[in-house]
A and B are shown apart, each in its own frame.
Chain A
Amino acid sequence: MKRNFVFGWFISILQSLSSVSLLATSAWLLSRADQRPSVMYLSLAVVGVRAFALGKAFFRYSERLVLHDATFRKATDVRTGIYSTLVDRAPIGLRDTSVGSLLTTMVDDTEESLNVDLRYRPALLQSIAVTVAGSAVYFWLVPQLAWIMLAVLLLGSTITYWGSKRNYGKNLIQLNALRSQLAELSENAVNRARVIRAYGWQERSNQKLDELAKAVSKAESQIARTTGLLQALIAGAMYATIAVALMVSLLSGTILPGEQVAVLVLLPLGIYEYLQALPNALQSKQKAGISIQRLAELESLSVPEQLVSKGNEKVSTFEKLELYNASVTYPNGKQVRLPDLNLKQGETITLEADSGAGKTTLAHVLVGFINPSNGSVLLNGRPIVSFEHNSLRQIFGLVEQQPNILAGTIRNNLLLAKPEASDQELVQVLKEVELWGMLSKREGLETQVGNSGSKLSGGEAQRLALARNFLADRQVIVLDEPTSSVQFTQGKTLIRQLLSQARERNCSVILITHEPKLAKMTDRLVKF
């Protein structure tokens, strides 16, 4: 992967050298021609001029292609790397606010971080290459001048580098923070626009936004000022070099042949073209640096101890589940008590819980997203922590309050649960959860569900989630608040259907709800 970049950078260097050579050779050609030699003496320079002109364009083209190819390759690596680190923490370990803020910028950070290799490195290497080549020519022609030029360039680049690091680094971090605050506040304002209007709170909300926007533009102009200063500095250094070259040529009088004067004076102009790009390249490096740091932070996150699978036993059939006096400690320190309950194979129970009482925690313990910290949770008479998390997931299924539907088709979403299933099987299970009627009027298995299932209603999403669990042959299904998104009478029908299908398949069901009336439909009610 690195090899592709190195090749690209090599071409970048060739490109810059062609460009500077084009100018130098042209200058040499003109001043030599001025001495009226035979055409023969010029023919090599003429060829050179044409070759460098072609090379400049050609190398530019290949450089861009090679570097973009390398960048795309690296992007995939970065994404898969992040994915692998997130997997072990999901879903509970990703809820902390510290992780949350890293996650929101993750997609952008991935793209931003690549700019180091795509933009900064080639620009830097080109500047170094043209400077070194230019100095070499100077050394060859007038060594004293070469020292002066090197001194000017070294001083200039040191100031540029130091100045950019000092100013860009601090200001970009500040700008980034301000920008994300502004984005957050704007999003707040947009999401709550109706309440803001209905309560007459516009002025306050706008005032805050304006203040922040002003701060953002102030930080932006500070960065712009740094860029301007650095570019002025580079321009100054280059023209100063030209002035010195002119002066030295003038003083050296008869010693220096005419064609050399032109080369000495025009070389800095060619170099300038590349040095000019440095401030922006340095800025993109600093920006990328911030992103890289955030990504590194994300990748270095350790997995909280209670999320790690500790057991190595496997389980294939569900017999019974017993909870007594158990509780869970979340990574943020929050303690949640679990209900006391018994569940035997084939039984359906209602768990009545207040909203906010950690009702989903039970489900998360059962599917091995988190380990219980105290009390006893026994599966088939053995502590649940002695089983492998992956193995637990093959027995327990979860229909979440807002089920996670992946963008794509109904078929994709179902195959997730059973990749080898035939279409017939898929249609059968959709009939069982009474989704097929609706889907057959649309595009059947090919029906698009929209981003995060946005084209499905809440009830439809839950039926689809249940269908996935049926396909995957889960033996215990936890239904989490299936009525919250639909009207009560509709909800009752939904649950009655879900329960009867589960019974037919001999599944055990834990129905979590805050509607006590639903309890009649299950075998037992457990209050919590």
Chain B
Amino acid sequence: MLLVGLGLLGSFASVALALAISGLIENIDHRKPIDFAYLLWFGIGFLIKVAIPFFQERLATSVSTNVKQNFRKELLGTDFSSSDVSPAEVSILVTRGLDALDAYFGKFLPQFIYTLVVTPIMVTLFFFVDPLSGLILVFTIPLIPLFMIFIGKATKVEQDRQLESLTKLSAHFAEVVRGLSTLKLFGRIDHQLHVLREIGDNLRIKTLKVLRISFLSGFALELAASLSVALIAVTIGFRLIDGLIPFATAMFILILAPDAYLPIRMIGANYHASTEGIAAATKVLNLLDAPKISQESASTYEPGLEIWLGPSGVGKSRRMDKLVAGSNAQSVAWMPQHPTLFPGTVEENITGGGKLNQTAINWSIKFAMLQDVPLNLLIDDYGQGLSGGQAQRVALARALYRLKTKGLNRLLLDEPTSSLDEATGMEIWKNLAALSKKSNSIVVITHQEKYVELAERVIRFEA
């Protein structure tokens, strides 16, 4: 709203300046004494014009920042694990997608409202000052959006296709870089270079075909605006010769005419940004509406060690996810199938960075056979720095630490020993069996049949 007001203030300044400048030129040309009211108007217009850019850019930024922050928090707070949404998609939306909202909320929307308000005012003003020029405006201004819609419709499909192929090109390039080792293995390096060129050239030719049409909307816009200025100038010129219009009015109209077209032209300039913003907003809202994971009643726990066996893909992990979903999370300690470690030290990964409970961490490390990994070892963003087996044991220690410090008695483990060597795996399973005897409920998903004898219950999942 503030931005719209600022825009209106700017238009007011334009009118004041046009009034002042045309009046002063008239004064000078007709050798009249200077009218000091014009000087005052000039001063006011000048000050506003200089002051506006100060606030405009900053306001635009702060508006979009607030919108972004709210969306981000909501997206990150939502459990997408059961829906089809991949984490990669969400993270692209959280970063790139939300940036696209910037342009939409910060630039396009205020510009749109401002144009809707200011254009009728300008047209009325022109009618009031010089009906003929007003008439020219009335006929030409609607042409601009009309052209834009018309040409926009004609190119929409092609434009979408082109945008798609642009993304495809970037994706293809990224894919090629990822696949460099394979290309090297099969001696296809030079061939791929050729392909890259070919794809780039094809895309260029296709895109330019589309652009030739879609830039037409800009052309129509520009043409309507500049031709109208020419039209107004020429008609006024001839009327001046015949003395049908005062000189100051003529000048005023000439100076102000471009300003009457400016708002609607700016919409055209921001239009592309807006479509991207709308697309991003739709995606975010759709995501938030996506089905969430259902929570399964937690009353199924019995003390003892329970093993879930079955071929991969029959839904063991999904079943366990339900036991962790929603408010269930508070009463269980869970270890996911993939270790999912955080950048930071091993210790931070186990404790979550809170206050250190020395007894609990010692117990967890011993239990998870983690003695070979120093606690201050740094794990980087990709979990590098640890071997697969070490990462698995860190994740196990993390679940155990939680069990101990929160005083819980339900432990859910999804394939805790799949990357470990036999001896270490066996030690850990023995520890699990012992822990289950102390009235803890432990559920373990595994593919390794050899541990079945340690369990009190075995549930077989059929394909």
Contact = CB atoms under 8 A, between A and B. Distances in A.
A136 interface: no
A30 B238 CA distance: 9
Interface stretch (B124-132, B173-181, B274-282): B173-181
A91, A179, A188: residue with the most chain B Cβ atoms closer than 10 Å: A91
B362 interface: no
A76 B197 contact: yes
A356 B49 CA distance: 66
Contact of B46 (A202, A220, A239, A487): A239
Contacts of A75: 200
Interface stretch (B151-159, B383-391, B452-460): B383-391
A60 to B, nearest CB: 5
B427 interface: no
Given A54-B223, A194-B79, A221 B58 contact: yes
B172 A407 contact: yes
A197 B65 contact: no
B192 A83 contact: yes
A224 B42 contact: no
A64 B211 contact: yes
B250 interface: yes
How many chain B residues sit at the interface, stated as a range, is 35 or more
A406 B340 contact: no
B37 to A, nearest CB: 15
A97 interface: yes
A56 B343 CA distance: 56
B285 interface: no
B79 A42 contact: no
A261 B182 contact: no
A168 interface: no
A199 interface: yes
B340 to A, nearest CB: 5
B29 A220 contact: no
A308 interface: no
Given A37-B241, A60-B222, A191-B87, A416 B182 contact: yes
A355 B389 contact: yes
B58 A225 contact: yes
Given A198-B329, A232-B53, A26 B230 contact: yes
Interface string B381-406: 10000111110000000100010000
For the residues of B in contact with A, the DSSP-based class is: helix
A106 interface: yes
A149 to B, nearest CB: 16
A29 interface: yes
Interface string A218-230: 0011001101111
Contacts of B311: 487, 490
A213 interface: yes
A461 to B, nearest CB: 12
Contact of A80 (B25, B185, B196, B258): B196
Contact of B204 (A76, A243, A487): A76
Contact of B28 (A37, A60, A246, A390): A246
B108 interface: no
A201 interface: yes
Contacts of B187: 390, 393-394
Contacts of A23: 229, 258
B431 interface: no
A31 interface: yes
B188 interface: yes
A242 interface: yes
Interface in A26-55: 26-27, 29-31, 33-34, 36-37, 39, 42, 45-46, 49-50, 52-54
Contacts of B80: 193
Contact of B175 (A27, A369, A406): A406
B298 interface: no
Contact of A451 (B69, B79, B175): B175
A367 to B, nearest CB: 6
Contacts of A242: 21
B402 to A, nearest CB: 6
Nearest to A224: B57
A262 B25 contact: yes
Nearest to B77: A202
A62 B446 CA distance: 66
A210 interface: yes
B226 A22 contact: yes
Contacts of B243: 36
Given A53-B227, A261-B25, A393-B185, A220 B65 contact: yes
A65 B342 contact: no
A30 B254 contact: yes
B61 interface: yes
B329 to A, nearest CB: 5
A39 B241 contact: yes
A301 interface: no
B132 to A, nearest CB: 14
B182 A224 contact: no
Nearest to A454: B86
B219 to A, nearest CB: 4
A76 B200 contact: yes
A30 B233 contact: yes
A239 B215 contact: no
Contacts of B342: 188, 192
B448 interface: yes
Interface string A64-75: 110011001101
Contacts of A472: 186
Contacts of A197: 79, 329
A397 B240 contact: no
Given A49-B230, A243-B42, A68 B211 contact: yes
A221 B381 contact: no
B170 interface: yes
A138 B233 CA distance: 22
B91 A191 contact: yes
A190 interface: yes
Nearest to B185: A393
6 contacts: A30-B247, A57-B227, A83-B196, A217-B65, A236-B46, A488-B448
Q: Which 4 A-B pairs have the closest CB atoms?
A: A356-B387, A76-B200, A231-B53, A90-B180
Interface of B: 17, 21, 24-25, 28-31, 34, 42, 45-46, 49-58, 60-62, 65, 68-69, 72-73, 76-77, 79-81, 87, 90-91, 94-95, 170-189, 191-193, 196-197, 200-201, 203-204, 207-208, 211-212, 215-216, 218-219, 222-223, 226-227, 229-230, 233-234, 236-238, 240-241, 243, 247, 250-251, 254-255, 258, 311-312, 321, 324, 329-330, 332, 334, 336, 340, 342-343, 352-353, 380-381, 386-390, 398, 402, 419, 421-422, 447-448
Given A60-B218, A83-B176, 5 more contacts: A26-B230, A60-B219, A186-B91, A246-B28, A484-B419
